[in-house]
Amino acid sequence: MTGSAPVFVTGATGYVGGRLVGRLLDEGFPVRCYARTPKKLGQRRWIGDDRVSVEAGDVGDIERTADAMRGCDTAFYLIHAMESSVGDFASRDLQLAKSFAKAAELAGLERIIYLGGLGETGEDLSEHLESRREVEAALRESGVPVTVLRAAMIIGSGSASFEILRYLTERLPIMTTPRWVRTECQPIAIRDVLSDLVACLKSPETAGEVIEIGGPDAVRYSELMHIAAEELGLRRRIIIPLPVLTPKLSSLWIGLVTPVTPAIARPLAEGLRNRVVVTSDAADRLIPRARIGVRNAIVLALQKTEQNEVETAWSAAGVVPGDPDWAGGTSYLDERTIGIETSAHAAYVAACRVGGGHGWYAAQWLWKIRGWMDQVVGGPGLKRGRRQAENVRYGEALDFWRVVGVEPDRLLALRAEMRLPGEAMLTFTIEPKEDEPNDNGQARCDFTMSARFMPKGLLGILYWYSVLPFHHIVFKGMLGGIRRAAVEYESEREPSHA
């Protein structure tokens, strides 16, 4: 493996891959990211680094992937199709792995490093873990040496597993739970996962090996909740396991209580029905080092969350659909413009604060009702919140919206992911009036909020007209709130003359 060859990274828009790129750069490795939606990488802290290049493409396209991979020696395969519904995520994962293996062979790749799932083999292996084993086998079909790291629950700020743990613990002082809370698992801190991935890259002897990784503690999931409660300053949780809660029911229950959707929660819940502990000494032999304990991992994750320093989050992973084809049928538009006597930057900052703990500036009770209604029918509701309090990135979730357009100081576009009889967009557009200051010479701008809806059938049309009366209340209040927030932000930035 040559020192100058870039490392090929798939899944850089995801939770682990987004953090791994930075770690590789810290270790002196140039990186080539391969992503379906490169725009999602636009605000990563490392995107401006000269040692990083980004190639657009889909792993399912063998020729395109092989072309992008040429010149690299090692590739990290960090793709999991967990956002698909149960029953097809496994076939999708397998298909992508086979395509990647063929591309690796065509490109003359020397090595693949894959992060899979920890768990004992057997007839009762969950579909989630069985899928990970199938991916391992598919990657080996290329003949390229494969290093497999198998990890159980990953604890880190923004990880789906940690969000489930945190929200269950915070919201339910008394809970009836599935039997899997008694299953033993061996969690690992995200910092250790990243260190182990980099260590494998730096250790040629790990090629062709299967390495089980985990923290130093093997605990029951119920114990994790008790530890989390202690670190959150809460009373000890009362946990009552019930055998009648199947993985499907568990995923629906998790979807109601936590920000994680049932589609993602189900494979995670199924995986926890298996005992997931390290049974091999390969990690100690090949990449030996001390690892972070469960309690410290939870403390670190909570600190990052409280300090608003969540580097990547599970909710930003997955496909971001393109803008709806508004020309392909009837669409409805509610557009409102106000003048704001601030800079365009101040108005943009105010718009970027929507969602999460800050709320939506007006009629918060209506937003909560709409979120609850969405949850009832299987949508995300308002539970996902947002990664950071003010900064937004392309592809991130803001409650039940997805960021699909970001132009600093100019535009913020959100696409609805709540359950709707149609497709909806909410766009904030800012037009600076540099040549038209107010009487005091202060900057001003026009701020436009556009709600666009493309209905599906009669139900969609009826839906639009049913919510129109609420637009006047909600949108008028939002525009007023954004104006006040922009003025306040601008006044805070002005130097004091006292």
8 Å CB contact between 177 and 225: no
Q: Are both 124 and 52 inside the same structural domain?
A: yes
- Per-residue pLDDT tens over the stretch 154-203: 999 888 888 888 888 887 787 777 676 788 889 999 999 999 999 999 99
| Same domain assignment for residues 120 and 259 | yes
Look at residue 265 and tell me if it is in a domain.
yes
Is the pLDDT at 417 greater than 50? The verdict is: yes
> Does residue 145 lie within any of the structural domains?
yes
Domain boundary among 315, 346, 376: 315
Average pLDDT, the chain: 84
pLDDT band at 120 (very low <50, low <70, confident <90, very high): low
Is the same domain home to 196 and 345? no
Q: What is the dihedral of CA 158, 162, 167, 173, to 10 degrees?
A: -160
Q: Provide the sign of the torsion angle of the four alpha carbons 475, 478, 484, 485, taken in this order.
A: negative
CATH number, position 37: 3.40.50.720
408 and 375 belong to one structural domain: yes
pLDDT of residue 121: 56
pLDDT value of residue 378: 75
Given 263, 291, 315, which residue is the final one in a domain? 315
Q: In 340-368, which positions are buried (b, 16+ CB within 10 angstroms) versus exposed (e)?
A: bbbbbbbbbbbbbbbbbebbbbbbeeebe
Claim to verify: residue 210 and residue 257 sit in the same structural domain? yes
Same domain, 179 and 209: yes
CA distances for 127 relative to 83, 95, 142, 233, 266, angstroms: 14, 16, 24, 36, 10
Residue 434 is predicted with a pLDDT of: 72
Which CATH number characterizes residue 410's domain?
Answer: 3.30.530.20
Which of 223-227, 290-294, 309-313, 411-415 comes out lowest in average pLDDT? Answer: 309-313
Of 61-75, 132-146, 335-349, 391-405, give the lowest mean pLDDT range.
391-405
* Claim to verify: residue 307 and residue 335 sit in the same structural domain: no
The answer as to whether 280 is a domain residue is yes
pLDDT digits (tens, 9 = 90+) for 432-486: 987 777 667 778 899 999 998 888 877 888 888 898 888 888 999 999 999 999 9
**Same-domain pairing of 392 and 340:** yes
Residue 322 lies in a domain: no
Same domain, 14 and 149: yes
Is position 138 within any domain?
Answer: yes
- Is 498 among the domain residues? no
Question: Of 11, 3, 16, nearest to 73 (Cα)?
Answer: 3
Q: How does residue 397 score in pLDDT terms, banded at 50, 70 and 90?
A: confident
Q: Which of 136, 403, 417, 121 is nearest to 263 (CA)?
A: 417
Point out the least confidently predicted range of 186-195, 380-389, 395-404.
380-389
Residue 325 lies in a domain: no
Q: Is the pLDDT of residue 207 over 90?
A: yes
Which domain covers residue 459, as residue numbers? 330-493
Does residue 347 belong to any structural domain of this protein?
A: yes
Residue 164: the pLDDT is 82
Q: Are residues 50 and 131 in the same domain?
A: yes
Label residue 498 by pLDDT band (50, 70, 90): very low
Could you write out the DSSP letters of every residue in 240-296?
A: EE-TT--HHHHHHHHHHHSSS-HHHHHHHHHHTTS-B-----HHHHHS------HHH
Provide the pLDDT confidence category of residue 324 given band limits of 50, 70 and 90.
very low
**pLDDT value, residue 322:** 47
Q: What total of structural domains would you count in the chain?
A: 2
Domain boundary (315, 349, 367) is at 315
> What pTM does this model have?
0.72
Task: Spell out the long-range contacts of 243-251 with Cβ–Cβ below 8 A and sequence spacing 24 or more.
Answer: 243/179, 245/176, 245/177, 245/178, 245/179, 246/178, 247/126, 247/178, 247/273, 249/178, 250/178, 250/180
Same domain, yes or no: 267 and 197: yes
The better pLDDT of the pair 410, 265 is held by 410
459 and 406 within one domain: yes
